[in-house]
């Protein structure tokens, strides 16, 4: 469906126009048209393909969706694929926005996300001196908005890791903690898949041969690149912390198993000593020490109790019990 279709000239909004009026504006040198689509049908995208003479391969990518983040150059058109990552409850939802940038137009195609770019449009219209740069500036504004939305997601994942670490040292169920850590690791991988490919793509927009759409905007795209570098470094650090947390959790589990083993060994020793003494006197030999002595039985019981008490004292002192 069409979200909006607006014509601009000299950095200022001219009018909201109908798709049938696009051709009358894009042919004017100082004008450009900004069209936004949300989950368009094949017919709607085909109409834009015909109107703007879009690259066929890029249109096919936009129709199929699920593309890797990238920025490609087709003759007079830039084609950018950006992933929109947002928190939905405790899970990550990944949407996609495909952006076509030409000399006098910019077309954004949004899929699998309800988060739009009305705020980006309002921001751009408040900055006519920058919007005067045309479609290239709009590409910057959209990309900047997408990258800025990654930071709150990363903050949420950091908070999630802190909560899991608290649970680790609180002695909660180890299986649930391992599952939570692996779930967090998967979320970080999703976020990395959205940000990492953009590093190389954005680098092409401010260094070397810059596409004409982005001329005079290199400093702005360099700023996005710096944000992406910081994001990727933070993601890598968080992934290392998750790996460390998994190792710590397994180490604590091993320590707990050792504690249980020591307790079992201690109780076995406490039982084994009187069992050994009783076993000797239960062999029914005729000549046994003190068999006929009146106090032999109480003495044997006392020796068993004394040895068990001594063992219990030593085990407690060694923190085995």
Mean pLDDT (whole number) for 70-76: 92
- Domain assignment present for 10: yes
**Predicted structure pTM score:** 0.82
Q: For 4-18, what is each residue's pLDDT tens digit? A: 999 999 999 999 999
Distance CA 54, CA 211 (A): 17
Q: What pLDDT is stored for residue 264 in this prediction? A: 79
Burial class (CB in 10 A: 0-12, 13-18, 19+), 318: exposed
Lowest mean pLDDT among 50-54, 167-171, 272-276, 316-320: 316-320
Stronger pLDDT, 295 or 6, i.e. the higher one: 6
Of 68, 95, 127, the residue that ends a domain is 127
- Domain assignment present for 64: yes
Give residue 285's pLDDT band: very low, low, confident or very high (50, 70, 90): low
For 36, other C-beta atoms within 10 Å of its C-beta total 22
- Domain assignment present for 221: no
Lowest mean pLDDT among 44-48, 77-81, 102-106, 252-256: 252-256
- Domain assignment present for 30: yes
Please check the confidence at residue 211 and state whether its pLDDT lies above 80.
Answer: yes
Q: For 195-205, what is each residue's pLDDT tens digit? A: 999 998 998 89
Please check the confidence at residue 293 and state whether its pLDDT lies above 80.
Answer: no
Please check the confidence at residue 75 and state whether its pLDDT lies above 70.
Answer: yes
Comparing C-alpha atoms, which of 148, 140, 137, 158 is closest to residue 228? 148
Distance CA 266, CA 288 (A): 30
Q: For 176-201, what is each residue's pLDDT tens digit? A: 898 999 999 999 999 999 999 999 89
- Domain assignment present for 158: no
Of 127, 148, 175, the residue that ends a domain is 127
Please check the confidence at residue 69 and state whether its pLDDT lies above 70.
Answer: yes
Q: What pLDDT is stored for residue 281 in this prediction? A: 66
Mean pLDDT (whole number) for 19-35: 91
Q: Domain holding 282: CATH number?
A: 1.20.58.340
Average pLDDT, the chain: 88
CB 213 within 8 A of CB 136: yes
Distance CA 298, CA 107 (A): 98
Kindly state the greatest CA–CA separation across the chain: 124
Please check the confidence at residue 94 and state whether its pLDDT lies above 90.
Answer: yes
Say whether 106 sits in a helix, a strand or coil: strand
- Domain assignment present for 102: yes
Say whether 108 sits in a helix, a strand or coil: strand
Domain that holds residue 303: 253-317
Q: What pLDDT is stored for residue 294 in this prediction? A: 66
Please check the confidence at residue 59 and state whether its pLDDT lies above 70.
Answer: yes
Q: What pLDDT is stored for residue 110 in this prediction? A: 93
Cα–chain center distance at 4: 32
How many structural domains does the chain have?
A: 2
Q: Tokens 């169920």 map to which residue?
A: 173
User: Which long-range contacts does 67-71 make (Cβ < 8 Å, 24+ apart)?
Assistant: 67/96, 67/98, 68/193, 68/197, 69/193, 69/194, 69/195, 69/197, 69/198, 69/201, 70/197, 70/201, 71/198, 71/201, 71/202, 71/204, 71/205
- Domain assignment present for 88: yes
- Domain assignment present for 132: no
C-alpha distances in angstroms, 269 versus 218, 266, 275, 279, 283?
76, 5, 10, 15, 21
Give residue 283's pLDDT band: very low, low, confident or very high (50, 70, 90): low
Of 95, 127, 159, the residue that ends a domain is 127
Q: Tokens 């890791």 map to which residue?
A: 161
Q: What pLDDT is stored for residue 300 in this prediction? A: 76
Structure tokens at 299: 């003495």
Q: Domain holding 9: CATH number?
A: 3.30.460.20
Q: What is the DSSP string of 148-195?
A: HTHHHHHHHHHHHHHHHHHHHHTT--HHHHHHHHHHHHHHHHHHHHHH
Please check the confidence at residue 246 and state whether its pLDDT lies above 60.
Answer: yes
């Amino acid at each position: 469906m069409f979200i909006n279709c607006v014509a601009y000239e000299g950095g200022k909004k001219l009018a909201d126009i109908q798709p049938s009026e696009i051709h009358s504006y894009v042919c004017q040198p100082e004008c450009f048209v900004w069209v936004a689509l949300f989950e368009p049908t094949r017919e709607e995208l085909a109409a834009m393909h015909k109107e703007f003479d879009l690259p066929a391969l890029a249109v096919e990518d936009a129709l199929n969706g699920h593309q890797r983040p990238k920025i490609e150059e087709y003759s007079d058109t830039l084609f950018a694929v950006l992933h929109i990552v947002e928190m939905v409850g405790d899970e990550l939802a990944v949407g996609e926005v495909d952006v076509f940038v030409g000399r006098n137009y910019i077309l954004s195609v949004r899929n699998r996300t309800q988060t739009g770019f009305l705020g980006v449009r309002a921001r751009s219209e408040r900055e006519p001196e920058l919007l005067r740069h045309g479609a290239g500036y709009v590409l910057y504004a959209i990309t900047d908005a997408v990258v800025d939305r990654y930071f709150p997601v990363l903050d949420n994942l950091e908070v999630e890791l802190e909560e899991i670490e608290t649970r680790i040292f609180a002695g909660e169920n180890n299986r649930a903690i391992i599952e939570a850590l692996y779930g967090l690791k998967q979320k970080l991988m999703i976020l990395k898949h959205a940000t990492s490919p953009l590093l190389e793509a954005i680098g092409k927009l401010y260094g070397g041969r810059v596409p004409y759409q982005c001329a005079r905007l290199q400093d702005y795209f360099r700023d996005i690149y710096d944000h992406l570098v910081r994001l990727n470094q933070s993601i890598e650090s968080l992934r290392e912390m998750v790996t460390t947390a998994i190792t710590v959790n397994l180490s604590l589990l091993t320590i707990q198993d050792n504690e249980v083993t020591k307790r079992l060994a201690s109780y076995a020793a406490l039982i084994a000593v009187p069992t050994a003494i009783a076993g000797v006197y239960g062999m029914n030999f005729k000549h046994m020490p003190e068999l006929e002595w009146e106090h032999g039985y109480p003495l044997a019981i006392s020796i068993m109790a004394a040895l068990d008490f001594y063992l219990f004292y030593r085990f407690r002192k060694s923190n085995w019990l």
